[in-house]
Structure 1
């Protein structure tokens, strides 16, 4: 494998897929896109507007789902992408439990002056007041999680009706939603889902009322598909440990492109989002290969060894491009070719 990697790298890079091209511009700020850390999720969000997809600037994003379903992982991955793009990422931690070492897996470097522990809904949005980071890059405010926020009323004497938080979210979002757009910020908040007390409607709801969902341009719903539990042998005995999780992310609401797309993500607790793994499996499945193949070159039958070849030969970009090409070919099959409706 060591000898094959350099020659394979030259062979594939010689006739790599087409360079990135922007598609015709439409409404919305797609000049700079922020990656979620997953090629397939980037495509599911905005792949039909700009090649490679991602999250555009100037929008509010809600990531909601049950506990341990990858919400904080996505939040940190997006924050890291903002920093790599030259932007500033403020992290608001109402739960006061962010693992900074874990966040560093995603290239997210937390500065003391950009890390805050707000208590109330109002305190979160005050961070937008007069904030001028001073560059043309996309800057972001990240809150993990919105469910942990309280209100002044609740802190002082208790909110017996339990409705003040929802009202404050509605009030603050009405005030600041235009600021997010005008200054090309992205604001991303995670939210826990809880079992609904209402016997009608959805079984689970995200706390904070309807305003968050209403004002969000993008809502991502995370759910656990399975836990990764590899088995090893020690002293002749079989041992297993949970080392990660496979999640599904549904694009629940999308004003940046089309909704109702989804993506599968593999998260390793000591590595992060395993984009290479998902891309290799996607290409193999939808091209009908019996082996893992990249640009016509056979990598092998083993997924783990194929991942090693990709990493050793620095072929991550080429794999991503092939994944995007294949995804676009699939989407092209669903284009409605009809003349405009007569009105």
Structure 2
């Protein structure tokens, strides 16, 4: 006698009960992961809710929106990496400038002995109040950083750079010191971790360089100095690249810059933003207002012309930027409107590590079309 293979069809009620049990099990698993590895270790990619973390602005409105909490989180380790002359130190100095505006005390550990105080001042850094250290060895740099953090008085400390530290210390020695300093600060909510960085609410920014791995046939041959430890300890990692040159009458006056949020433990990662980095001035805030305003339909763009509230403000982006520089009231109105539409703009700058266009290498820099300059 042949036995019939009958499939049992579950009722809608049974399916709902099964889904509830699965969701309950998933919530328990996420709760366990959060307890073991810290809040933000697991989240849905499209999740818009960010952690309630105190932040410091990066000086870039678009990057602040991409980071999800209005800037970089305090009490965490941050890594900014990219090729040479891509804007790493400039971005770090802009963070220092913003922290100082909020009344914070900042420090710069110049392991490369390459900090330009004049340029830092142009970016808005109060160099008279900035604590600067130019250590002789990598070990000395980390010991100085450790002491400053434990003082509990610092808001932001920048270490420039990881490559300079590794020249003097073996990686094992470096991360033995850093682990004592930070105590795995990307896990501040767990009872096992009581790091001085999270306890003192100090942000530590490591500037890092790109290295090429030899013999890589598949995937990216790029890597960063310091091994995998810094990647693990960092709550936010940002890849910054120069993607073009901004010219005025044949003269290069700045760089078109792209930043990819490679890792973010306080908000959804993988967002990509672009902004203008002007020589001697830093991030162009008016340029960001034009770009973000156009994305949010606050600024109208028709061909090469830009308009605001039906009134033309310039032909070409540079002329539109000049208009906003000369009309701070209009710039403030556009910025306020952009902040009100932050959620919409955040969706439009959502990137994807697979679908997003690959970041160009520094050696293959595109030239941005020359922009017309408004005549006086």
Shorter-chain TM band = 0.7 to 0.9
Aligned residue for 2:67?
A: 45
Gaps of 5+ in 2: 1-47, 183-194, 351-376
- Does residue 252 of the first structure (1) align with residue 262 of the second (2)? yes
What's the CA shift for 1:196? Answer: 1.1
1:90 positional shift: 0.8
From 228, 235, 243, the equivalent of 2:253 is 243
Do the aligned partners of residues 169 and 301 (structure 1) sit closer, same or farther apart at CA in structure 2, a change above 3 Å counting? Answer: same
Partner of 1:304: 318
How many angstroms does 1:25 deviate by? 9.0
Per-residue deviation, 1:214: 0.7
Spell out the pairing of 1:270-289 with structure 2 (5 A cutoff). Answer: 270-287=280-297, 289=301
1:230 is aligned, of 235, 245, 248, to 248
**Aligned with 2:174 (options 165, 169, 175):** 169
Structure 1 unpaired stretches of 5+: 1-23, 155-163, 232-239, 336-343
Cα distance in 2 for residues equivalent to 1:80 and 1:302: 30
Q: Which residue of 1 aligns with 2:125?
A: 108
What residue is the counterpart of 1:14 in the other structure?
none
Taking the aligned partners of 1:124 and 1:320, their CA distance within structure 2 comes to: 39
Which residue is equivalent to 2:53?
29
Matches within 5 A, 1:305-324: 305-315=319-329, 316-324=331-339
Structure 1 residue 264, shift from structure 2 partner: 0.6
Q: Distance in 1 between matches of 2:85 and 2:279?
A: 11
2:99–2:156 contact (8 Å) kept in structure 1: yes
> Number of paired residues?
284
How much has 1:26 moved relative to structure 2?
6.2
Report deviation, 1:105.
1.4
The whole-number CA distance in structure 2 between the counterparts of 1:115 and 1:199 is: 39
State which drifts further: 103-112 or 204-213. 103-112
User: How far does residue 303 in structure 1 lie from its aligned partner after superposition?
Assistant: 2.9
Q: Counterpart of 1:101 in 2: which secondary structure?
A: helix
For 1:224 and 1:333, locate their aligned partners in 2 and report how far apart those are by CA, in whole Å: 21
Structure 1: how far apart are the matches of 2:288 and 2:349?
A: 23
Q: Which residue of 1 aligns with 2:216?
A: 199
Q: Which of 142, 151, 159 lines up with 2:158 in the alignment?
A: 142
- The 3-state SS of whatever aligns with 1:205 is strand
Does the 8 A contact of 1:118 with 1:149 survive in 2?
no
In 1, the alpha carbon distance for the partners of 2:146 and 2:208 equals 23
> For residues 244 and 113 of structure 1, what CA distance do their matches in structure 2 show?
26
Q: Out of 322, 329, 343, which is 2:344 matched to?
A: 329
- Superposition map of 1:148-187 within 5 A: 148-150=164-166, 164=170, 166-177=171-182, 178-187=195-204
Deviation at 1:129, TM superposition (A): 3.8
**Is contact 2:152-2:202 (8 Å) kept?**
no
Contact kept? 2:100, 2:125, Cα under 8 Å: yes
Asked which structure has the greater RCO (Cα within 8 Å, sep 6+), the reply is 1
TM-score, with length taken from structure 2: 0.68
Over the aligned positions, Cα root-mean-square deviation in angstroms equals 2.7
What do the CA deviations read for 1:241-295 (whole angstroms, capped 9, x no partner)?
2221111000010012111001112111122110211221232245263243445
User: Residue 313 and residue 228 in structure 1: after superposition, are their counterparts in 2 closer, same or farther (change >3 A)?
Assistant: closer
Cα 1:304–1:183 change in 2 (3 A) is same
Structure 2 CA distance, aligned partners of 1:317 and 1:119? 45
Q: Is the 8 A contact 1:88 1:133 kept in 2?
A: no
The answer on whether the counterparts of 1:65 and 1:223 sit within 8 Å (CA) in structure 2 is: yes
Deviation at 1:72, TM superposition (A): 0.9
Q: 1:333 to 1:228 in 2, by over 3 A?
A: closer
Measured after TM superposition, the shift of residue 332 of structure 1 is 6.1
Distance 1:215 1:45, change over 3 A: same
Structure showing greater Rg? 2
